[in-house]
Amino acid sequence: MTYEFAILDTPLGPTHALARDGRLCALQLATKPFRTTSPLSRVDRLGARTVRNPAGVATALAEYFAGDVRAVERLEVDPDGTEFQRRVWAALRRIPAGETTSYGAIARELAMPTASRAVGAANGANPIWIVVPCHRVIGASGALTGYAGGLDVKRWLLAHEQGQRMLGAAAAS
- For the chain, counts of helices (H) and of strands (E): 6, 6
The Cα 107–Cα 83 span in angstroms is 14
User: CA Rg, the chain, in Å?
Assistant: 15
Catalytic residue among 134, 137, 157, 170: 134
- Active site annotation includes 134: yes
Q: If phi over 0 gives left and psi between -120 and 50 gives alpha, with beta otherwise, what is residue 84?
A: alpha
**What are the catalytic residues?**
134
